[in-house]
Chain A
Amino acid sequence: MNKKVLLVPLAAMTLSLVGCGEPDVDYTDNTRLTMRVHVDEGSEEGNGYKEIITAFNRENNGKIRVDLEFVARSGGIYETQLDNDKRKNTLPDLFTFDAPKCAYYAKNGYLYDLSSSFSTTEQDNFVALNRYQSKLFGIPIQESSAGFYYNKDMFNRAGIDVSGITVDNPWTFSQFKEACAKLKALPGLKGAVDMRLDATADETATYLLYPFIYSCGGSFVDSTGLHALNYFNSANSKKGFQFLKDLLDNGYTGTNYGAQDFFTHQVGMYLSSGWTIPELDNHVKWGQYFPDRNSWGLLPYPKADDGTAVSCNGSWSYAIGNNPRTDKSNVVTLLKYITNAKSSKVITQHTGMIPANKEAQVGYANPGSAEDVLLQQLNKTSVQRPETVGYAQFSSAFGRAIKYLKDYGVDKSVDDAAQYLEKELSRLK
Chain B
Amino acid sequence: MALIALYVFAAFIVIFLAVFIKDFIKNRKSHYKYHKGEVIMAFVLLAPSVVLAFFLVLLPIITSLGFSFTNYTLGDPNNISLAGGDGFGNFRDLISEFQIKGDFYHAIKNTAIFVVFVVPIQIGLALGLALFVNNKRRGTTIFKVCFFAPVAVSLSVTAFFWREVLANRPDGIMNSILANFGIPNQDFLGTDKILGWMIAISAWQGCGYQMLIFLSALGNIRKDLYEAARVDGANSFQRFKTVTIPGLRPTMLFILITVFIGACRVLIQPMLLDQGVYPGSVTLSLYMYNQGQKYGNVGLSCAVALLMTIVIGSITFLQRQLLKEKKK
Chain A residues proximal to chain B, CB less than 8 Å: 3, 6, 9-10, 13, 76, 83, 86-87, 89, 104-105, 107-110, 190, 200-201, 255-258, 390, 392-393, 396, 399-400, 403-404, 407, 416, 419-420, 423-424, 427
Contact, CB under 8 Å: A407 / B191: yes
Nearest opposing residue in chain B for A201, CB measure? B275
Most chain-B Cβ atoms within 10 A of its Cβ — which of A419, A420, A424, A427?
A: A427
Partner of B293, one of A76, A104, A390, A399: A76
Residues of chain A within 8 A (CB-CB) of B297 are 427
B151 interface hit (Cβ, 8 Å): no
Contact, CB under 8 Å: B275 / A258: no
A104/B78 contact (C-beta < 8 A), A190-B170, A201-B275, A396-B276 known: no
Contact, CB under 8 Å: B76 / A109: yes
- Can you sample 9 A-B contacts with CB below 8 Å? A76-B293, A108-B75, A200-B275, A256-B167, A396-B294, A403-B278, A407-B190, A420-B102, A423-B100
Chain B residues proximal to chain A, CB less than 8 Å: 41, 44-45, 47-48, 51-52, 73-78, 93, 97, 100, 102-103, 167-171, 185, 187, 190-191, 275-279, 293-297, 300
Most chain-A Cβ atoms within 10 A of its Cβ — which of B75, B93, B300?
A: B75
Inter-chain CA distance A131–B275, complex, in Å, is 31
Inter-chain CA distance A26–B194, complex, in Å, is 53
A87/B78 contact (C-beta < 8 A), A13-B48, A256-B187, A404-B191 known: yes
Inter-chain CA distance A424–B185, complex, in Å, is 36
Residues of chain B within 8 A (CB-CB) of A87 are 77-78
Inter-chain CA distance A10–B50, complex, in Å, is 12
Inter-chain CA distance A396–B48, complex, in Å, is 44
Contact, CB under 8 Å: A255 / B168: yes
Distance in angstroms from B5 CB to nearest chain A CB is: 11
Residues of chain B within 8 A (CB-CB) of A258 are 169-171
Residues of chain B within 8 A (CB-CB) of A403 are 276, 278
Contact, CB under 8 Å: B294 / A392: yes
Inter-chain CA distance A419–B105, complex, in Å, is 14
Residues of chain A within 8 A (CB-CB) of B41 are 3, 6
Distance in angstroms from A376 CB to nearest chain B CB is: 34
Inter-chain CA distance A110–B74, complex, in Å, is 12
Contact, CB under 8 Å: A104 / B75: yes
Residues of chain B within 8 A (CB-CB) of A10 are 44, 47-48
Residues of chain B within 8 A (CB-CB) of A393 are 295
Residues of chain A within 8 A (CB-CB) of B277 are 396
Distance in angstroms from A271 CB to nearest chain B CB is: 18
Nearest opposing residue in chain B for A190, CB measure? B170
Partner of A420, one of B48, B74, B103: B103
Residues of chain A within 8 A (CB-CB) of B75 are 83, 86, 104-105, 107-108, 110
Distance in angstroms from B98 CB to nearest chain A CB is: 11
Nearest opposing residue in chain B for A390, CB measure? B295
Partner of B93, one of A89, A255, A392, A427: A427
Nearest opposing residue in chain A for B168, CB measure? A256
Residues of chain A within 8 A (CB-CB) of B48 are 9-10, 13
Residues of chain A within 8 A (CB-CB) of B45 are 6
Residues of chain A within 8 A (CB-CB) of B300 are 427
A256/B170 contact (C-beta < 8 A), A404-B191, A407-B191 known: yes
Contact, CB under 8 Å: A423 / B97: yes
Residues of chain B within 8 A (CB-CB) of A392 are 294-295
Partner of A86, one of B51, B77, B295: B77
Contact, CB under 8 Å: B293 / A256: no
A399/B170 contact (C-beta < 8 A), A107-B75, A424-B295 known: no
Distance in angstroms from B43 CB to nearest chain A CB is: 12
Distance in angstroms from B189 CB to nearest chain A CB is: 11
A400/B278 contact (C-beta < 8 A), A108-B75, A423-B97, A427-B300 known: yes
Distance in angstroms from A202 CB to nearest chain B CB is: 9
Distance in angstroms from A81 CB to nearest chain B CB is: 12
Contact, CB under 8 Å: A108 / B169: no
Nearest opposing residue in chain B for A13, CB measure? B48
Nearest opposing residue in chain B for A83, CB measure? B74
Contact, CB under 8 Å: B76 / A108: yes
Distance in angstroms from B183 CB to nearest chain A CB is: 15
Nearest opposing residue in chain A for B52, CB measure? A13
Distance in angstroms from B120 CB to nearest chain A CB is: 30
Inter-chain CA distance A362–B187, complex, in Å, is 48
Residues of chain B within 8 A (CB-CB) of A105 are 75
Distance in angstroms from B130 CB to nearest chain A CB is: 38
A200/B78 contact (C-beta < 8 A), A13-B51, A256-B185 known: no
Inter-chain CA distance A403–B191, complex, in Å, is 9
Inter-chain CA distance A310–B103, complex, in Å, is 32
Residues of chain B within 8 A (CB-CB) of A427 are 93, 295, 297, 300
Partner of A257, one of B97, B100, B169, B279: B169
Nearest opposing residue in chain B for A416, CB measure? B279
Distance in angstroms from A18 CB to nearest chain B CB is: 13
Distance in angstroms from A101 CB to nearest chain B CB is: 10
Distance in angstroms from A297 CB to nearest chain B CB is: 26
Inter-chain CA distance A404–B190, complex, in Å, is 10
Known: A200-B276, A256-B168, A427-B93. 10 other contacts (CB 8 A): A83-B74, A86-B77, A108-B75, A201-B276, A256-B170, A257-B169, A403-B278, A419-B102, A423-B97, A423-B100
Distance in angstroms from B50 CB to nearest chain A CB is: 11
Distance in angstroms from B20 CB to nearest chain A CB is: 16
A419/B78 contact (C-beta < 8 A), A3-B41, A256-B187, A392-B295 known: no
Nearest opposing residue in chain A for B71, CB measure? A427
Nearest opposing residue in chain A for B41, CB measure? A3
Residues of chain A within 8 A (CB-CB) of B171 are 258
Residues of chain A within 8 A (CB-CB) of B170 are 190, 256, 258
Distance in angstroms from A381 CB to nearest chain B CB is: 29
Inter-chain CA distance A108–B51, complex, in Å, is 34
Inter-chain CA distance A45–B158, complex, in Å, is 34
Inter-chain CA distance A281–B314, complex, in Å, is 61
Distance in angstroms from A251 CB to nearest chain B CB is: 12
Contact, CB under 8 Å: B74 / A399: no
Nearest opposing residue in chain B for A396, CB measure? B277
Nearest opposing residue in chain A for B276, CB measure? A201
Residues of chain A within 8 A (CB-CB) of B279 are 416
The 5 closest A-B pairs by CB, nearest first: A201-B275, A108-B75, A87-B77, A256-B168, A108-B76
Distance in angstroms from B172 CB to nearest chain A CB is: 8
